[in-house]
Amino acid sequence: MHASFPAFLVRRFIAGVLTVCALAACSKPAEPWHLTDVSGHLPDLDFSLVDDGGQPVTGESFAGRTTLVYFGYTHCPDVCPETMARLMQVLERVGPDADKARIVFISVDPARDTPALLRSYVRAFDDKHAVGLTGTDRAIERVAQRYRVAYQMEKRAPDGAYEVTHSSAVYIFDAAGHARLLATEQDSADAIATDLKRVIDAKAS
């Protein structure tokens, strides 16, 4: 028959187990995300483009801010304005923490989207939290390939007009520039706002 452990050793063992559980968060599993978690699956925020003020800008320019990146173009008839309007709703729901976030609209139509045109476009939605970016064809291609964004210019109309088909996802990067979440057309403003606030509130890893 085995001897019993002294009471003080039992108490010490229990205290140790509770400490380990607390450190490992074993008492409560992490709350699931509403959006698609892409942590570790996409590269950090990194590019070299031109902002809507005509100034060079890189991914590091947004360090310290939670960044929502969307690829679109100013002549887009439906998806782009709808997405931008939804992101405005998201920031409204986030409240004061919206000042810790930035919406980055990257043009997939650099031939027409000059910095001045982008500035007018994004400021029509939000003149405080949104910025438009453009660049050379090659620069846009590089950043699109980096985040697996597909886009293609469609056949020109007789008057020279054309549309650009493109991916419509919104990429969310934390304050350290790490890719965290992916929002699609199916995700509501409430779902995006809830997860965005969690990213903003969490310490960047």
Tell me the per-residue pLDDT of 29-53, one tens digit each, with 9 for 90 and over.
578 999 999 999 999 999 999 999 9
9-18, 66-75, 195-204: least confident range: 9-18
> In the chain, which residue ranges form alpha helices assigned H by DSSP?
7-24, 79-94, 115-125, 137-146, 189-201
pLDDT in the model for residue 191: 97
CB atoms within 10 A of CB 157: 9
pLDDT in the model for residue 1: 42
**DSSP 8-state assignment for residue 128:** T
pLDDT in the model for residue 29: 54
Percentage of residues in the chain with pLDDT exceeding 90? 78
139-148, 149-158, 164-173, 188-197: least confident range: 149-158
pLDDT in the model for residue 30: 75
pLDDT category, 8, cuts 50, 70, 90?
very low
CB atoms within 10 A of CB 109: 21
Residue carrying structure tokens 């801010």: 65
Task: Specify the pTM.
Answer: 0.83
pLDDT category, 156, cuts 50, 70, 90?
confident
Superfamily (CATH) of domain 33-201: Glutaredoxin (3.40.30.10)
pLDDT in the model for residue 204: 43
Higher per-residue confidence, 4 vs 34: 34
Residue carrying structure tokens 């100034």: 55
Domain ranges of the chain: 33-201
Enter the tokens of residue 87: 């992101």
Q: Using one digit for the tens of pLDDT, what is the confidence trace for 79-123?
A: 999 999 999 999 999 999 999 999 999 999 999 999 999 999 999
Residue 66 has pLDDT above 80, yes or no: yes
Q: Once rounded to an integer, what is the mean pLDDT over residues 135-147?
A: 96
106: amino acid identity, one letter: I
Nearest Cα residue to 71 out of 187, 183, 169, 189: 169
